[in-house]
């Protein structure tokens, strides 16, 4: 049987389209899955997932919203831990958000001194 039309006309798989339920799943799973893992979850390639996002901006927005919510929740917890006296949380927060740096110097008597800069 002869092919009708030019290459690229018809044929091939239909495009993947996410419904509302799948879009809601994207938002819920964005907190814990990378885009590659998300593609695996939906049994599609990462390229296909990115094509879905470009055709359906609501899917891309759902992923971004889910990630942002997760980051916000963890950051809120980190700040609470720092305010409650968790020194490690306080140091991490100050390093990542306030630009603090540790510099280590060795004094002439062999003692190591840690200095903070911001």
Render pLDDT for 16-42 as a digit per residue (tens, 0 to 9).
999 999 999 999 999 999 999 999 999
Do 114 and 102 form a contact (C-beta atoms < 8 A)? Answer: yes
Average pLDDT, the chain: 89
pTM of the predicted model as reported, rounded to 2 decimal places: 0.73
Task: Check whether 106 has a pLDDT greater than 70.
Answer: no
Structure tokens at 104: 């280590």
User: Which pLDDT value is given to residue 24?
Assistant: 98
Structure tokens at 74: 């963890």
Band of pLDDT at residue 13, cut at 50, 70 and 90: confident
Separation CA 60–CA 56 (nearest Å): 7
Number of separate helices (H) and strands (E) present in the chain: 5, 2
User: Which pLDDT value is given to residue 90?
Assistant: 95
Task: Check whether 54 has a pLDDT greater than 80.
Answer: yes
């Amino acid at each position: 049987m002869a092919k009708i039309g030019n290459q690229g006309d018809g044929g091939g798989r239909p495009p993947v389209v996410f419904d509302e339920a799948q879009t809601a799943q994207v938002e819920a799973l964005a907190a814990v899955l990378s885009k590659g893992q998300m593609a695996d979850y939906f049994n599609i390639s990462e390229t296909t997932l990115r094509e879905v996002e470009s055709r359906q901006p609501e899917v891309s927005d759902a992923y971004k919203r889910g990630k942002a919510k997760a980051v916000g929740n963890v950051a809120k917890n980190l700040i609470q831990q720092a305010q409650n006296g968790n020194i490690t949380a306080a140091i991490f927060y100050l390093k990542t958000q306030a630009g603090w740096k540790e510099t280590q110097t060795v004094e002439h008597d062999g003692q190591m001194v840690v200095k903070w800069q911001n």
